[in-house]
Amino acid sequence: MKDFPELKIVLEHATTKEAVQYVRNDASGRLAATITAHHLLLSQEDEVEESLRPYVYCLPVVKTADDRNELRQVATSGDSRFFLGTDSAPHPVSKKEQKTGYPGGIFTAPAALELYAQVFDEMGKLENFEAFASLNGPRFYGLQPNEETVTLTKEPWTIDALVAVSGGEYIRPFGYHEDREKRLTINWKIH
């Protein structure tokens, strides 16, 4: 920041209390951060069944519950320096289930907005969701926000299938489980 005083910098995918404080302590107006849905939902302390571990492994890795809670607080706070950054990673099942060296990344795209909305609802801050999802990023970059809209309604649902891709491969979305009873209930749906 010292070497390039006109450069705007985005800390891609803040994951720690320290990252949040670093952005909050900056007074230049040139520093912002994105936050992923999965870092708002997961922590190292979460119990994850062995077969799902590759699917919740991401880079940067999820941190402690305290870090997650700090991210939830700042994401929903209305602070315009923080905005949506999905970092959704569509790695095929065959790669995620390799014995070693499976890739980091969580596939949240099929429900990303809905997952964010769920966090904002849980935090009692739905009034700040549109700015986080749609306005803060363009404002930071000096761009006009998109004029198209989506409508979210409170309607519980689950992701009920893997996503088929070319070559006979599949991608496992975040929240999906073969056992219907173990699927993540998502409380918001795009219409």
Domains along the sequence of the chain with CATH: 9-147 (3.20.20.140)
Beta bridge partners of 10: 32
Q: What is the pLDDT of residue 184?
A: 97
Question: Locate tokens 């230049």: which residue?
Answer: 28
| Residues with active-site annotation | 87
Residue 135 β-bridge partners: none
Structure confidence at residue 17 (pLDDT): 98
Give the C-alpha separation, 149 to 129, whole Å: 13
| Predicted TM-score (pTM) of this structure | 0.96
The confidence band for 169, taking pLDDT boundaries of 50, 70 and 90, is very high
Residues 106 and 117: their CA atoms lie apart, in Å, by 18
